[in-house]
Structure 1
Amino acid sequence: MAISPQVFTPRKRYPSVGSLISSKLSDLKLVQSLLLLAEEISVLKPFQFILKRNSSSIIRKSKLLAILFEEFVSNPNFFFPLTAVLCLEDIYTVLKRIKTLLEHCSNGSKMWLLMKSESVADSFHQLTVQLSTLLDILPLKELDLSEDVKDLVVLMKNQCCNTEAFVDPTDENLRHDLLKLLDWIRREIVPDHSKLAEILEKLSLRDSASCRDEIVRLEHEVHIQIYENWKSEAIALIGLVRYAKCVLFGASNPRSDDRDHFQAMNIPADFRCPITLELMRDPVVVATGQTYDRTSINLWIDSGHNTCPKSGQTLAHTNLFPNLALKNLIAQWCREEKVPYETTENQTSFKATKMMVLFLINKLSVSQSIETANRVVHDLRVLAKTDSDSRACIAEAGAIPLLLRYLGSENPSLQINAVTTILNLSIREANKTRIFETKGVLDGVIGVLGSGATWEAKGNAAATIFSLCAVQSYRKKLGRKIRVITGLAELVKAGPTNSKRDALAAISNLAVEKETVGKLVEGGVVEMALEVTEELAEEAVTILAVVAKRGGAVAVAAGNQVVPKLALVLRDGTDTARERAAAALVSICRRGGTEVVAELAATPGIERVIWELMGMGTVRARRKAATILGILGRQAAGIDGDPTAEYWTNIASSGTNLQI
Structure 2
Amino acid sequence: MTSQSIPPPPRRILSLPAIPPCESVSPSALLSSLLSLAADVSSSDSTPARCPTHRRAVREALRHVAILSTFFADIAGSDLPASAVLGLSELHVTLQRLGHLLRDCSRRGARLWILMNSGRVLSELRVLLRSVAVALDVLPLDSLALSSDVRDTVSLLSRQAWKADLRPDPADERAAEAVRSALAAFAGAVPPDGVELKALLRRLQVRSWSDCGDEIAFLEEQLLDYSTGDDGEAVLLGNLTGLLVYCRATMFKADGVEARKEPRLEEQRIGGLNPEAFRCPISLDIMAEPVTISTGQTYDRASIVRWLESGCLTCPVTGEKLRSAEFVPNSAVQRIINQYCHYNNIAAAGSNSGSRKRDLAKTSSPQSPAAAGATRMAVAFLVGRLHAGSDGEKNRAAHEIRLLSKSSIFNRACFVEADCVPWLLHLLSTPDPSTQDNAVAALLNLSKHPSGRAAIFEVGGTGLVIDAVSEGLKAEAKQNAAAILFYLSSVEEYRKEIGEIPGAIPALVHLLRRGGYRGKKNAIVALFGLLLSPGNQLRAVAAGAARALVDLLGDEREDLINDCVGVLAKMAERQEGADAILAASPDVLQSLVGVLQSSASRSGREYCVSVMLSLCDSCGAKVVGLLEKMPLLMPALYSVVAGGPPHASKKARSLVNYIHRFHDQEDFPSAAALPPPPPAAQDRVVHAR
TM category (shorter chain) comes to 0.7 to 0.9
Instruction: Tell me, in whole angstroms, the C-alpha distance in 1 between the residues paired with 2:14 and 2:196.
Output: 37
Task: State how 1:111-130 maps to structure 2 within 5 Å.
Answer: 111-130=112-131
Match of residue 496, structure 1, among 494, 516, 529: 516
Does the alignment pair 1:581 with 2:608? yes
Q: CA deviation at 1:625?
A: 2.3
Does the alignment pair 1:235 with 2:238? yes
Does the alignment pair 1:563 with 2:589? yes
- Alpha-carbon displacement from aligned partner over 1:231-255 (angstroms, at most 9, x marks no partner): 3212221221121122112345312
Q: Match of 2:24, SS?
A: coil
Larger RCO (CA under 8 A, 6+ residues apart): 2
Instruction: Tell me, in whole angstroms, the C-alpha distance in 1 between the residues paired with 2:100 and 2:614.
Output: 64
Q: CA deviation at 1:203?
A: 1.3
Instruction: Tell me, in whole angstroms, the C-alpha distance in 2 between the residues paired with 1:328 and 1:564.
Output: 36
Which residue identity is paired with 2:379? V
The range that moved more, 202-211 or 549-558, is: 549-558
Q: Cα gap change, 1:427/1:340 in structure 2, threshold over 3 Å: closer, same or farther?
A: closer
**Structure 2 partner of 1:549:** 573
Mapped contact 2:181–2:192 kept (Cα < 8 A): no
Q: Cα gap change, 1:406/1:240 in structure 2, threshold over 3 Å: closer, same or farther?
A: same
Mapped contact 2:17–2:97 kept (Cα < 8 A): yes
Q: Match of 1:20, SS?
A: coil
Q: Match of 2:75, SS?
A: helix
Q: CA deviation at 1:534?
A: 1.4
Q: Match of 1:521, SS?
A: helix
Task: State how 1:213-362 maps to structure 2 within 5 Å.
Answer: 213-225=214-226, 226-254=229-257, 255-258=260-263, 265-266=270-271, 269=275, 329-331=349-351, 343=363, 345-347=366-368, 348-362=370-384
Instruction: Tell me, in whole angstroms, the C-alpha distance in 2 between the residues paired with 1:134 and 1:251.
Output: 50
- Alpha-carbon displacement from aligned partner over 1:269-311 (angstroms, at most 9, x marks no partner): 5899xxxxxxx9x9xxxxxxxxxxxxxxxxxxxxxxxxxxxxx
Which residue identity is paired with 1:14? P
* 5+ long unaligned stretches in structure 2: 1-10, 279-285, 289-345, 670-689
Mapped contact 2:421–2:452 kept (Cα < 8 A): no
Mapped contact 1:553–1:591 kept (Cα < 8 A): yes
Instruction: Tell me, in whole angstroms, the C-alpha distance in 2 between the residues paired with 1:220 and 1:596.
Output: 54
Mapped contact 1:493–1:528 kept (Cα < 8 A): yes
**Structure 2 partner of 1:305:** none
Q: Cα gap change, 1:190/1:269 in structure 2, threshold over 3 Å: closer, same or farther?
A: farther
Q: Match of 1:533, SS?
A: helix
Which residue identity is paired with 2:387? S
Mapped contact 2:447–2:453 kept (Cα < 8 A): yes
Task: State how 1:54-203 maps to structure 2 within 5 Å.
Answer: 54-75=57-78, 78-82=79-83, 84-107=84-107, 109-162=110-163, 164-203=165-204
**Structure 1 partner of 2:527:** 507
- Alpha-carbon displacement from aligned partner over 1:334-372 (angstroms, at most 9, x marks no partner): 9999985885831322221111111111122112x3333
Q: CA deviation at 1:120?
A: 0.8
Q: Cα gap change, 1:339/1:135 in structure 2, threshold over 3 Å: closer, same or farther?
A: farther
RMSD: 3.2
User: Aligned residues: percent identity?
Assistant: 28
**Structure 1 partner of 2:598:** 572
Which residue identity is paired with 1:391? R
Mapped contact 1:392–1:428 kept (Cα < 8 A): yes
Mapped contact 1:51–1:171 kept (Cα < 8 A): yes
Mapped contact 1:252–1:375 kept (Cα < 8 A): no
**Structure 1 partner of 2:40:** 40
Q: Cα gap change, 1:364/1:609 in structure 2, threshold over 3 Å: closer, same or farther?
A: closer
Instruction: Tell me, in whole angstroms, the C-alpha distance in 1 between the residues paired with 2:211 and 2:483.
Output: 32
Match of residue 388, structure 2, among 354, 366, 389: 366
Q: How many residue pairs are counted as aligned between the two chains?
A: 575
Mapped contact 2:16–2:97 kept (Cα < 8 A): no
Q: CA deviation at 1:21?
A: 0.8
Q: Cα gap change, 1:81/1:259 in structure 2, threshold over 3 Å: closer, same or farther?
A: closer
Instruction: Tell me, in whole angstroms, the C-alpha distance in 2 between the residues paired with 1:522 and 1:181.
Output: 59
Match of residue 432, structure 1, among 450, 453, 470: 453
**Structure 1 partner of 2:338:** none
**Structure 2 partner of 1:450:** 470
Q: Cα gap change, 1:190/1:99 in structure 2, threshold over 3 Å: closer, same or farther?
A: same
Q: CA deviation at 1:116?
A: 0.8
**Structure 1 partner of 2:443:** 422
Match of residue 479, structure 2, among 455, 459, 476: 459
Q: Cα gap change, 1:268/1:607 in structure 2, threshold over 3 Å: closer, same or farther?
A: closer
Mapped contact 1:449–1:461 kept (Cα < 8 A): yes
Q: TM-score w.r.t. structure 1 length?
A: 0.80
* 5+ long unaligned stretches in structure 1: 1-7, 273-279, 283-325, 646-660
Instruction: Tell me, in whole angstroms, the C-alpha distance in 2 between the residues paired with 1:428 and 1:199.
Output: 35
**Structure 1 partner of 2:293:** none
Q: CA deviation at 1:458?
A: 1.5
Q: CA deviation at 1:199?
A: 1.0
Instruction: Tell me, in whole angstroms, the C-alpha distance in 2 between the residues paired with 1:167 and 1:445.
Output: 54
Instruction: Tell me, in whole angstroms, the C-alpha distance in 2 between the residues paired with 1:465 and 1:533.
Output: 23
Which residue identity is paired with 1:69? F
Which residue identity is paired with 2:121? V
Instruction: Tell me, in whole angstroms, the C-alpha distance in 2 between the residues paired with 1:412 and 1:10.
Output: 39
**Structure 1 partner of 2:564:** 540
- Alpha-carbon displacement from aligned partner over 1:50-82 (angstroms, at most 9, x marks no partner): 11111111111111111111121132xx24252
